[in-house]
Amino acid sequence: MTDLAPAPSPDAPPEPAPEPYSRAARVATLTAVLLPLVGFAAAVVSMWGWGFGWVEFGLLAGMAVPTGLGITVGFHRYFTHKSFETNAVVRFVLAALGSMAVQGSVLKWVAYHRRHHQHSDMADDPHSPHHRGRGLWGVVRGFWHAHIGWAFGPDPAGLDRYVTDLRKLASVRAADVLFPLWIVVGLAIPAALGGVLTGTWGGALLGLLWGGLARVFLVHHVTWSVNSVCHLWGSRPYPEKDHSRNNLLFGILAMGEGWHNNHHAFPTSARHGLRWWQVDASYYVIRLMAWAGLAWKVRLPAARPAAAA
């Protein structure tokens, strides 16, 4: 991704190649991610009719989809990779929606992700699951680090150099500064709607719970699984660069982000699902935006090798 981040110095020592985990280790890691999601789904089902009904479901989905798209279409495909162009108003809205997902401000999120692409699965990758030791303990440490552990460490030196282009845009700077406000707004909207739709304070509380806190939990773990699971488990039609993988489950749950090996092969492409059956909801939204005149210069791979044809 040399078009978005400075290339490593030619005098720098070569980075060690990542060591792949075994199939059994990758399956175990996937299970560790799936069980909490299954537990969350079971809680939803068990509470149906008392504490969770159509209003709460609507608030959960109605907040998860736009804030998730704020990450996938906004933070990732637009701000990080410049896979399409848009106007200042849409840019600000995408930054606000992505911020409501509570994964960091737009400038910090983009800086980390650009660094990830520059050093993918190498020693300086901020959230690679590799390089954490061998055996089961190495798998556990690697998974934890890639999933969320990396966020508890100090920021790498020089992180700001990855977003010098975005800092020139007033709308992005404003949205970044307002990050705490977006968190509050993202929690207040479902709480207010829950209270209005039910006419009760209890409905407001359930709106905050399901459309706010539970929604943040769900979007968090789906997004983080692209960092962890999609560098451990899945197919690699383009194996020459790193250990990124296409994962069907997270291709669907993460609205196209799970076609991660495709993405690493063509990082500036707005389309991640390169085959007809690879569902890519985020790309469909970008197509809809282009049809409505809200996006243009949508970038796609110039040609696709036989592996993705």
Tell me the pLDDT tens digit for each residue of 261-283: 999 999 999 999 999 999 999 99
- The pLDDT, as a whole number, for residue 241 is 79
Tell me the pLDDT tens digit for each residue of 63-75: 999 999 999 999 9
Helical H segments across the chain, by residue range? 23-46, 54-69, 88-100, 106-118, 135-147, 170-177, 179-198, 201-207, 215-228, 248-253, 260-265, 281-291
The band of 260, judged by pLDDT with boundaries at 50, 70 and 90, is: very high
Among candidate residues 268, 14, 18, 255, the one with its CA nearest the CA of residue 146: 18
- The pLDDT, as a whole number, for residue 309 is 44
- The amino acid sitting at 270 is A
**Other Cβ atoms within 10 Å of 35 Cβ, number:** 10
Tell me the pLDDT tens digit for each residue of 151-169: 888 888 899 999 999 999 9
* Residue ranges with strand state E in the chain: none
Mind giving me the DSSP string for 39-53?
HHHHHHHHTBTTTBS
Taking CA atoms, 175 is separated from 245, 290, 295, in Å, by 32, 23, 19
Would you mind telling me the total number of residues written for the chain in this entry? 309
By CB neighbour count within 10 A (0-12 exposed, 13-18 middle, 19+ buried), where does 279 fall? middle
Residue 6 in this model has a pLDDT that exceeds 50? no
By CB neighbour count within 10 A (0-12 exposed, 13-18 middle, 19+ buried), where does 196 fall? exposed
Q: What is the pTM of this model?
A: 0.87
- The answer to whether 121 touches 238, Cβ cutoff 8 Å, is no
- The pLDDT, as a whole number, for residue 157 is 87
- The answer to whether 216 touches 101, Cβ cutoff 8 Å, is yes
- What are the CB-based long-range contacts (under 8 Å, 24+) for 246-253? 246/278, 249/34, 250/222, 250/225, 250/226, 251/278, 251/279, 251/280, 252/279, 253/222, 253/225
**Other Cβ atoms within 10 Å of 284 Cβ, number:** 14
Tell me the pLDDT tens digit for each residue of 185-224: 999 999 999 999 999 999 999 999 999 999 999 999 999 9
Question: What's the rounded Cα separation, in Å, for the pair 273 and 251?
Answer: 8
Ramachandran region, residue 199 (left: φ > 0; alpha: ψ -120 to 50; beta: rest): left
Question: What's the rounded Cα separation, in Å, for the pair 125 and 148?
Answer: 14
Among candidate residues 251, 245, 220, 241, the one with its CA nearest the CA of residue 232: 245
- Give the domain ranges of the chain: 23-301
Among candidate residues 88, 94, 85, 98, the one with its CA nearest the CA of residue 290: 85
Q: Mean of the per-residue pLDDT values for the chain? A: 88
Question: What's the rounded Cα separation, in Å, for the pair 257 and 157?
Answer: 28
What is the three-class DSSP state of 235? strand
